[in-house]
Amino acid sequence: MGEFRIERDSMGEMQVPAGAYYGASTQRAVLNFPVSGYRFGREFIRAMGAIKHACAEANASLGKLDRKLAGWIQKAAREVFDGKLDDQFVLDIFQTGSGTSTNMNANEVIANRAIELAGGERGSKLIHPNDHVNMGQSSNDVIPTAIHVAAVEALHRQLMPALHRLREALRAKAEQFDAIVKIGRTHLMDATPIRLGQVFSGYASQIAHADRRIAQKLIILRELPIGGTAVGTGINTHPEFGKRVCDALNHELREQFHEAHNHFEAQAAKDAIVNAMGTLKTVAVALTKIANDVRWLGSGPRTGIGELILPATQPGSSIMPGKVNPVICESVLQVCAHVVGADAAITYAGGLLGTFELHVGMPVMAHHFLEATRVLANVCHVFAEKCIDGLEANTARCEALIEQSLAMCTSLAPLIGYDAAADIAKQAHAGGKNVRQIAQELIRAGKLKLTEAQLNEALDPRRMTEPSDKVLPVSA
């Protein structure tokens, strides 16, 4: 065949690389969209393979497609699903907004591979990309269905396990650090004591809540637009087609997909992806809080807060010998910035690119959602393994800073009143002393009606880290 072969589509002849499984429509899109070099990733291509496999099964079961021909299509679609033909998905993300080019890319690859499996010659159209592989379908319902299938799988297979891993790492640190009391901080200023384990229990709870929010979004994403064809009316497809495709997908993927209750919403709008992406942004915001706190608590090591000792993963400076930086936390923070940006892109596309009966921002929305999911999952594993697991507490530093906090006077307020406690804090600050020292001086001078034992009990840092009903009346 030489370097090229000639294939034909509705617009005429087209030169296609001789070794390619894709055909004329795909090659036109290759030439039309040399924009970014970004391609659909494994999860999306896997979803396309699963959908085409399920569509062939549905058409065969409905008597619309010859069972033997459907079998060849399914074998080829299985190879797409398994990743054996990923190099044949050559189109740029920034293409036709419906993803028609990518749907035809899949149709042509599957058709030509099916022809080859059946003993025919690529490009012969013995198995037709439109008439057979795309039977009962439109790009307008296939692509949004692929987005939902890929999103559900990515969340289930990538992000949720990664969040579980991170949550368990944080929970383990909450237990390990439970006996260590440190000073709390509010408004970046010294506050009352808190146990380091309590701090980490809060981080673990943030991740647990993130996991639950994602589980809620899966319910919406399991609703698939397939069966709506061009504009949601289901033209050129069997009334049971959408349901049977969902049944086939559920059998193959062990999922709980179902046909959209309203195909017009499912194809004209992309609210489900906008909503789910908002949850990914929330995960990023939670990770930002945790990673930022960890790097600040480990700052120093001598002139910063220094209450945490972060694992040393690599040299931190090309000019300052011995410097070690919180690079894992910085990686997390950059991923979070990326995810927030992805949310902005999806929000913009979701609102402005859905016009009348079709949304024309689907490829870019799919790309950003799946990339955000992938990098969030990866960085959660990295954060857990290379930072959280190896964290140690600087117990001596935690204890030393507690007595320096003027907020220690808070536990005196129920005993001597707010104003008297505030006056002790002011005297301590002005005199360069701590609250305990000023209170002891006032007791010895007869100006504070407390015993030393009462003072020590009130200023016990551990006691301050939990509620207590043992409160004496305010002194007159």
pLDDT tens sequence across 366-376: 999 999 999 99
Place of tokens 């040399």: 34
Residue 323 phi, psi dihedral angles, 5° rounding: -75, 135
115 vs 384: CA distance, rounded Å: 48
Which position has the token pair 């030509």? 112
What is the SS3 assignment for 12? strand
**What's the structural domain count of the chain?**
3
| Interatomic CA distance for residues 474 and 324, integer angstroms | 50
Q: What average pLDDT does range 28-33 have in this prediction? A: 97
Please list the helix, strand and coil fractions of the chain in percent, rounded to the nearest 5, in that order. 60, 10, 30
Q: Are residues 128 and 26 in the same domain?
A: yes
Concatenated DSSP letters for 245-296? HHHHHHHHHT---EE-S-HHHHHH--HHHHHHHHHHHHHHHHHHHHHHHHHH
Examine residue 378 and state whether it is found in any structural domain, yes or no. yes
Q: Does residue 472 fall inside a structural domain?
A: no
Residue 2 pLDDT level (bands cut at 50, 70, 90): low
In a domain, 471, yes or no: no
For residue 317, indicate whether it is catalytic: yes
125 Rama class: left (phi>0) / alpha (psi -120 to 50) / beta: left
Model confidence at 322, pLDDT cuts 50, 70, 90, reads confident
Q: What is the distance between the alpha carbons of residues 143 and 23, in angstroms, rounded to a whole number?
A: 19
Mean pLDDT of 311-328: 90
- Tokens representing 228 are 């709506």
Residues 301, 435 share a domain: no
**Per-residue b/e over 392-424, b at no fewer than 16 CB within 10 Å?**
ebbeebbeebbeebbbbbbbbbbbbeeebbeeb
Residue 86 placed within a domain: yes
Mean pLDDT of 170-180: 98
Q: What distance lies between CA 284 and its chain's CA centroid?
A: 7
Does 476 fall in a domain?
A: no
410: CATH: 1.10.40.30
Q: Which residue bears the tokens 């409160």? A: 471
Active-site annotation holds for 238:
no
Whole-number Å distance between alpha carbons of 392 and 301: 13
Chosen domain end from 75, 100, 135: 135
Domain-located, residue 69: yes
Q: Give per-residue pLDDT as tens, 213-229.
A: 999 999 999 999 999 99
Are the C-beta atoms of 363 and 93 separated by less than 8 Å?
yes
Return the CATH number at 249. Answer: 1.20.200.10
Using DSSP, state whether 237 is helix, strand or coil: coil
Residue 473 lies in a domain: no
pLDDT at 116: 97
Indicate whether 239 and 112 sit together in one domain: no
Q: What is the largest CA-CA distance in the chain?
A: 105
pLDDT digits (tens, 9 = 90+) for 269-286: 999 999 999 999 999 999
Beta bridge pairs of residue 5: 16
Q: What is the pLDDT of residues 386-412, one digit of tens each?
A: 999 999 999 999 999 999 999 999 999
Classify burial at 47, counting beta carbons within 10 Å of its beta carbon; exposed 0-12, middle 13-18, buried 19 or more: buried
| Pairwise CA distance, residues 275 & 350, whole Å | 10
370-393 per-position pLDDT tens digit: 999 999 999 999 999 999 999 999
Distance of CA 242 to the CA centre of its chain: 29
CB 171 within 8 A of CB 204: yes
Rounded Cα distance between 280 and 286, Å, is: 10
SS3 224: strand
Query: 181 and 40: one domain?
Result: no
3-state SS assignment for residue 183: strand
Q: Is residue 474 part of a domain?
A: no
Backbone angles phi, psi at 137, to 5 degrees: -130, 165
CATH number of the structural domain spanning residue 45: 1.10.275.10
> What local confidence, expressed as pLDDT, does residue 432 receive?
94
Residue 474 pLDDT more than 70?
no
161 lies in the same domain as 205: yes
Mean pLDDT (the chain) is: 95
User: Per-residue pLDDT tens for 332-361?
Assistant: 999 999 999 999 999 999 999 999 999 999
Shared domain check, 297 and 227: yes
* 166 and 72 together in one domain: no
Q: For residue 458, what are the domain limits? A: 403-465
User: What pairs with residue 7 in β-bridges?
Assistant: 14
Last residue of a domain, one of 397, 427, 451: 397
> C-alpha angle 470/472/475, rounded to 5°?
165
Q: Is the pLDDT of residue 439 over 70?
A: yes
Mean pLDDT on 178-199: 96
Q: Spell out a b/e string for 205-238, using b for 16 or more CB atoms within 10 Å of the CB, else e.
A: ebbeebbebbeebbeebbbbbbbbbbbbebeebb
Summarize pLDDT for 121-157 with one digit per residue, the tens. 999 999 999 999 999 999 999 999 999 999 999 999 9
Which of 112, 135, 158 finishes a domain?
Answer: 135
289 and 426 part of one domain = no
201 and 76 share one domain: no
| Alpha helices (runs of H) in 62-138, residue ranges in sequence order | 67-82, 100-117
330 within 8 A of 322, measured Cβ to Cβ: no
**pTM given for the model:** 0.94
Segment 282-291, tens digit of pLDDT = 999 999 999 9
Question: pLDDT above 70 covers what percent of the chain?
Answer: 98
Examine the domain organization and report whether 199 and 290 are in the same domain: yes
Amino acid of residue 69: L
CA distance 234 to 433: 79
Please list, in sequence order, all residues whose beta carbon lies within 8 angstroms of the beta carbon of residue 95, skipping any fewer than 6 positions away.
29, 32, 33, 35, 101, 102, 363
Shared domain for 346 and 210, answered yes or no, is yes
pLDDT at 476: 42
Average confidence (pLDDT) over 102-108: 98
For residues 118 and 123, give the distance between their C-alpha atoms in angstroms, rounded to a whole number: 13
Judgement on whether residues 230 and 343 belong to the same structural domain of the protein: yes
Catalytic residue from among 36, 124, 251, 317: 317
First to last CA, the chain: 103
By CB atoms closer than 10 A (0-12, 13-18, 19+), residue 437 is middle
pLDDT at residue 1 tops 80: no
